[in-house]
Amino acid sequence: MFAFKAKIKNTLVLLGAVSILLSACQRKLEPGKSIEQIRLEEGVPVRIMTIGEREFSKDLTFFAKISGIKETMQQAMIGDKIVKIRGKVGSRVGEGQVVVEFPKDNPTIQFEQAKLGYENARKLYERMKHLLMEGETSQQNFDNAETQYLVAKRNWESVHRLVLIESPISGIITQMLVKEGDKVKAGDNLFSVAQLGKMMAKVWASASEVQYIKQGMEVTMNINGDEFQGKVAIVDLAMNQAHNAFGVEIHFDNPQGKIKSGVTTDIKINAYNNSNALMLPRKVIVRDGDDAFVYVEKDGKAERRIVKTGLESGIDVEVKSGLNPGDKVVTEGIALLRDGSKVKIVN
């Protein structure tokens, strides 16, 4: 019963408030005057903000995979059994150093025949070269010997690369994917080598982002609580059609080897700083095709101002031109305004 009475009481209070509000509206609207006429006479009710300069910084964030500044994966070029591995993960190797060996007696490779053919052709070439210098043979004989030597050399080098897998760069073995005795197929991955003193990340920036990215800009990334500093090294001048974006290469010094190849992380490019920025809430900027404008209160009227916008940060947009510090920008009541409309500032 008590709850029922309380409900009736609340309903009566609500009806009374509505009645008072309607009476006030009727008194405010003079007979024969529309809301549009009242706005013309008294002004459109608006709220404003006085724009001022402040610090504005913009970081562009990308997700990227980190790798050595130079990194390569070596693959098997023949199918056979691995007879020897000359290194392990963490081993430092030089360019051209043999890391993985396959059998030399594979009948399809003819390793020893290729080696013998190369050595014989080299000896003949050197002998004919000496004879030509002494005038004891013709130029034609020398040219023939040189051709045979070059063909034998290329054949030997090809066979050598099939059987003795070398590191193409100097660096550290970062992966060893096989072990001695494994049977592999042509195309199987064997090992990877990387130069880890300097690390690299490749990120992809949109057309709107890349205009703010310049070579030498500072970059930060955080891996397992450790922050690392880097710099933008290369900014592509042409859009990559596959990514529909511009490639940006970033380098990080890694003297202590804390940055590991293959990790993925967020990378932040400190792309923009302006200590005297003019910022506005996005909602007060009106878009009209390619143009953007705001309304400024001046001498009791709304003045339409074309503005050029810059970067955004959360709900705020940087205004590059069209406004000055101290301008009173309309923040509410915008939809009712036209250029030159009379305005009435309300709290």
DSSP string, 17-56: HHHHHHHHHHHHS-TT--HHHHHHHH-EEEEEEE--EEEE
Residue 272 binned pLDDT confidence (cut-offs 50, 70, 90): confident
> Average pLDDT for residues 267-276, to the nearest whole number?
91
Supply the CATH classification number for the domain 72-191. Answer: 2.40.50.100
Mean pLDDT of 272-278: 91
Cα–Cα separations (whole angstroms), residue 161 to 100, 121, 156: 10, 19, 9
> Are 330 and 337 contacting, i.e. CB atoms less than 8 angstroms apart?
yes
Q: For the chain, what percent of residues have pLDDT higher than 90?
A: 77
pLDDT at 256: 87
The pLDDT of residue 25 is above 90: no
| Three-state DSSP state, 326 | coil
As a whole number of Å, the CA-based R_g of the chain is: 38
Name the token pair of 316: 């705020």
Note the pLDDT tens digit of each residue in 91-149: 999 999 999 999 999 988 899 999 999 999 999 999 999 999 999 999 999 999 999 99
Q: Which long-range contacts (CB under 8 A, 24 or more apart) does 239-242 make?
A: 239/207, 240/204
Instruction: Return the percentage of the chain with pLDDT > 70, whole number.
Output: 88
CATH number of 43-51+285-347: 2.40.420.20
Angle between helices 111-134 and 139-163 (to 10 degrees): 150
Q: Say how far apart CA 87 and CA 184 lie, in whole Å.
A: 18
β-strand 44-50 against 343-345: which pairing, if any? parallel
**Residue 47 near residue 330 (C-beta atoms within 8 A):** yes
Q: Do strands 183-184 and 189-205 pair parallel, antiparallel, or not at all (unpaired)?
A: unpaired
Given a cut of 90, whether residue 36 has pLDDT beyond it is no
Retrieve residue 22's tokens. 């309607």
Structure confidence at residue 13 as a pLDDT band (50, 70, 90): very low
- The backbone torsions φ and ψ at residue 289, rounded to the nearest 5 degrees and listed phi first, read 65, -125
Q: CA 249, 254, 259, 262: dihedral to nearest 10 degrees?
A: 40
Answer whether 239's CB lies under 8 Å from 207's CB: yes
* Runs of H (alpha helix) within the chain: 2-28, 35-42, 111-134, 139-163, 207-210
**pLDDT for the residue 43:** 84
Rounded to the nearest angstrom, the gap between the alpha carbon of residue 281 and the centroid of all alpha carbons in its chain is 27
pLDDT band for position 35 (cuts 50, 70, 90): low
pLDDT given for residue 20 in this prediction: 30
Residue 39: other Cβ atoms inside 10 A:
17
Is pLDDT at 247 greater than 50 in this prediction? Answer: yes
What average pLDDT does the chain have?
Answer: 88
CA–CA distance, 138 with 134 (Å, rounded to integer): 10
Instruction: Say how far apart CA 252 and CA 236 lie, in whole Å.
Output: 18
**pLDDT tens, 219-236?**
999 998 899 999 999 999
Pairwise CA distance, residues 189 & 202, whole Å: 23
CATH 3.40.50.1100 fits 60-66+196-273, yes or no: no
Look up residue 149 and give its DSSP letter: H
Reference 334, options 288, 279, 289; nearest CA is 288
Checking phi first, is residue 41 left (phi over 0); if not, alpha (psi -120 to 50) or beta? alpha
